[in-house]
Chain A
């Protein structure tokens, strides 16, 4: 691919803390290599801002290889930017044209309050996992990996759901700020495997109860979550979660 340097105008959301108002700040960034990732472009800008004695832009990042789920920028009206199936850290500057204006916003949802600039508090996801995203395992020697037979198709579907990195793009894209794609990935991951069956009913009931408590909305099957998911989690998982919930709701003892 042809390499070149481009100049861009960035409109970035700046907000001091959760209590302050926040506004867009415009930055001109010049001589940005198209080989850079989106986050590296922010690094360049931040180094310049520090040298100029200005406040750098706060943003979340960790692994920078698309598996940690920390980077969370809403770029030009799409979570993780214009490319499909990529996180912000995997988005490269060749996705943009020279002279383009890029608008960068944090995830917007009541359940994801802004901490500073582009950083939001996603601990609501952790509490949903704590409510039911686990299995019971006996202590002692590790069980032989092949002792429990699993059908290949189910193992594959479970694995595909387990690819969810919990970045929150589904919530950011959903008009209802619903976390159903995230929950459905976590529930599907465990529900399709024999190891997940002991807590099968309480898992669906408790995780949904926690999701509602955290202030996420209800799913209306619009499909926006699936379209923006960097791990391409299928919306079919939401139907499976509904099925799990209906089954648990009808048959749970208490």
Chain B
């Protein structure tokens, strides 16, 4: 057994999915933390996104974060490609299906729909990059007027880009639906990743299950509240 045959076996592929999945889960926490700075506006109406823009500016100028950005893209790429390959391969293991299906009698619908939920998230990701990542890195569309931050650095007004983007109803609806998909994707993925990495200790499985449910509810909820708060005018100028 060499490395490639171990990593390309059925368990090996799942280990790759689990490791990249947990990496993306850790990224979500950072992403949520930075973006939650917009909520300072709720407590301090004079903030106008200054705290969030400072956080975004910090992320953009820090070398380590920029290196991690490349690693993050690699993580996304491997997780998506491997996930699609696995879904395709697994589906082809039963050429002739059943007339009556087991359905929900043995497993949860979202556990069986990771490929579908993941594909929805991929489509959302493309839209999300087009909305924010590509303008901030390359085109600067909607970011033409730099602002002076309270720490005396000149930066893009990402907060303004957010408020403009989330002023449209369809965008808010799409983002909320994506957050619901993310919640169900995590509800299975969080605990499944640990099982794939060999966590068989009953005590820890209970802990991981509880953590998984909490994570899958809280993180997508906080993300979903961002477009909602901006559309409703709770957060903004």
Interface size (B, Cβ < 8 Å)?
44
Residues of A within 8 A of B200 (CB): 236-237, 239-240, 242-243
Residues of B within 8 A of A235 (CB): 195
B172 CB–A CB distance under 8 Å: no
Q: In the bound complex, do residue A77 and residue B94 qualify as a contact, i.e. CB atoms below 8 Å apart?
A: no
A216 CB–B CB distance under 8 Å: yes
Q: In the bound complex, do residue A110 and residue B94 qualify as a contact, i.e. CB atoms below 8 Å apart?
A: yes
Q: In the bound complex, do residue B111 and residue A218 qualify as a contact, i.e. CB atoms below 8 Å apart?
A: no
Q: In the bound complex, do residue B10 and residue A212 qualify as a contact, i.e. CB atoms below 8 Å apart?
A: yes
CB distance from B196 to the nearest CB of A (A): 6
Bitwise, A173-195 to B at CB < 8 A (1) or not (0) is: 10111101000000000000000
Residues of B within 8 A of A11 (CB): 99
Stretch in A30-38, A62-70, A137-145, A244-252 with 4+ CB within 8 Å of B = A244-252
Q: In the bound complex, do residue A217 and residue B90 qualify as a contact, i.e. CB atoms below 8 Å apart?
A: yes
Q: Known contacts being A110-B94, A178-B10, is A227 close to B105, with CB within 8 Å?
A: yes
Please name the residue on chain A nearest to B115 by beta carbon.
A220
A123 CB–B CB distance under 8 Å: no
Stretch in B11-19, B31-39, B159-167, B179-187 with 4+ CB within 8 Å of A = B11-19
Q: Known contacts being A220-B111, A238-B195, A240-B200, is A208 close to B100, with CB within 8 Å?
A: no
Q: In the bound complex, do residue A224 and residue B205 qualify as a contact, i.e. CB atoms below 8 Å apart?
A: no
Q: Known contacts being A24-B99, A77-B101, A176-B93, is A224 close to B198, with CB within 8 Å?
A: no
Bitwise, B88-104 to A at CB < 8 A (1) or not (0) is: 01111111111111110
Interface members, chain A 74-103 (any B CB < 8 Å): 74, 76-79, 103
A222 CB–B CB distance under 8 Å: yes
A219 CB–B CB distance under 8 Å: yes
Residues of B within 8 A of A247 (CB): 198
Interface members, chain B 1-36 (any A CB < 8 Å): 1, 5-6, 9-15
Interface size (A, Cβ < 8 Å)?
55
Residues of B within 8 A of A227 (CB): 105-107
Q: In the bound complex, do residue B94 and residue A218 qualify as a contact, i.e. CB atoms below 8 Å apart?
A: no
Q: In the bound complex, do residue B102 and residue A77 qualify as a contact, i.e. CB atoms below 8 Å apart?
A: yes
Residues of A within 8 A of B105 (CB): 77-78, 227
A211 CB–B CB distance under 8 Å: yes
Q: In the bound complex, do residue B6 and residue A108 qualify as a contact, i.e. CB atoms below 8 Å apart?
A: no
CB distance from B50 to the nearest CB of A (A): 44
Residues of B within 8 A of A177 (CB): 90, 93-94
Q: Known contacts being A220-B90, A223-B106, is A175 close to B112, with CB within 8 Å?
A: yes
CB distance from A80 to the nearest CB of B (A): 12
Q: In the bound complex, do residue B99 and residue A110 qualify as a contact, i.e. CB atoms below 8 Å apart?
A: no
CB distance from B194 to the nearest CB of A (A): 8
Residues of A within 8 A of B100 (CB): 74, 76-77, 103, 105
A164 CB–B CB distance under 8 Å: no
CB distance from A244 to the nearest CB of B (A): 8
Q: Which residues of B contact A (CB under 8 A)?
A: 1, 5-6, 9-15, 86, 89-103, 105-108, 111-112, 114, 188, 191-192, 195-200, 202, 205
Given pairs A211-B10, A221-B191, 16 additional interface contacts (CB within 8 A): A76-B100, A178-B90, A209-B9, A212-B9, A216-B93, A217-B89, A221-B195, A224-B107, A224-B112, A235-B195, A237-B200, A239-B205, A241-B11, A243-B198, A243-B200, A249-B12
